[in-house]
Amino acid sequence: MINGAMRRGNYGYDAPYVLILFASLTVLSGLGTAIAWRLLPAHAARPFALYFVLFLVNTGSFFYTTRRGKFLEWERILDRMRLRGDEVALDMGCGRGAVLTAVAGRLTTGRVMGVDIWSTTDQSGNAKDAVLRNAAIEGVDDRVRIATADMRTLPFPDATFDLVVSSLAIHNIRPLRDRKRAIDEGFRVTKPGGRIVIADIRATAAYAAELRELGALNVQRQRLGWRFWWGNPMAATTLLTASKPRREEGGPE
């Protein structure tokens, strides 16, 4: 099993331009604070210092989450799932393979398929070759397959996967109706009795409503802790879990 604290692959940075923006604002506000303390009375300079602290904390939180915190949280999520090891899994929007390789590390005879459109806006250095390199470095390349595909039109038959996961990917789709199409597709390719696990930062209530409309069971949402904050609590990640009913439970034939 791959330990989230001991990852050897290179998984880049999520939303790199946002991180650059936070870091730039931190530097500019720091310079502004230094100038203000030199030229202004203390009471007038304090707001500059508050902005500096705010941007510094946001930058630090974002950097920690993208480089370490998200890995630790996903390890906890997958630990609780107690995978058997023979599952066939799908990672929708796999990026450079952070969750893909974590799932693969828990499989023995199973395998995991990752799909992505490889946008470098959403993740730095996002590419098929990067996923394959990381899978090889982590020692799970024999259990990993990847494909270029849009999660709104997945190229898989119905009821293909025991487990469908997605991390910080569906929110990048616009508009909301297309996000719902991705949810529909994820549910379609899940086997009866299979599970769906999605971590995202917005629209998870709409995802949950769509899953309930489709007939999913055990639909639950929970906000994850500070290790999965993208700067501050208002940008916390929410975990959505659900299962597809077995046919004898009233699921689709």
d(Cα 171, Cα 97) in Å, to the nearest integer?
18
- What CATH topology corresponds to 64-249? Rossmann fold (3.40.50)
Among residues of the chain, what percentage have pLDDT more than 70?
95
- Is the pLDDT assigned to residue 28 strictly greater than 90? yes
The residues near 248 (Cβ < 8 Å, ≥ 6 apart) are: none
DSSP H helical ranges for the chain = 16-39, 42-64, 70-81, 98-104, 128-137, 176-188, 204-214
In this prediction, residue 251 carries a pLDDT of: 46
Q: What is the pLDDT of residues 125-144, one digit of tens each?
A: 899 999 999 999 999 999 99
The pLDDT score that the predictor gives to residue 52 is 96
pLDDT interval class at 253 (50, 70, 90):
very low
The string of pLDDT tens digits covering residues 84-94 is 999 999 999 99
Domain spans in the chain, listed from the N-terminal domain onward = 64-249
CA-only gyration radius of the chain, Å: 20
User: What is the distance between the alpha carbons of residues 135 and 94, in angstroms, rounded to a whole number?
Assistant: 12
Higher pLDDT, 192 or 121: 192
The Cα–Cα gap between 33 and 18 comes to 22
252, pLDDT greater than 50: no
185-230 pLDDT, tens digit per residue, is 999 999 999 999 999 998 999 999 999 999 999 999 999 999 999 9
CA–CA separation, 244 and 253 (whole Å): 12
Mean pLDDT score of the chain: 94
Q: What's the whole-model pTM score?
A: 0.91
CA distances from 167 to 51, 85, 86, 240 (A): 31, 21, 22, 10
Widest Cα–Cα separation across the chain: 75
Instruction: List phi, psi (to 5°) of 156.
Output: -130, 150
Give residue 247's pLDDT band: very low, low, confident or very high (50, 70, 90).
confident
Residue 239 pLDDT > 70, yes or no? yes
Mean pLDDT within 91-108: 97
Instruction: Please give the distance of CA 93 from its chain centroid, rounded to a whole number.
Output: 8
Nearest Cα to Cα of residue 160 among 107, 87, 109: 87
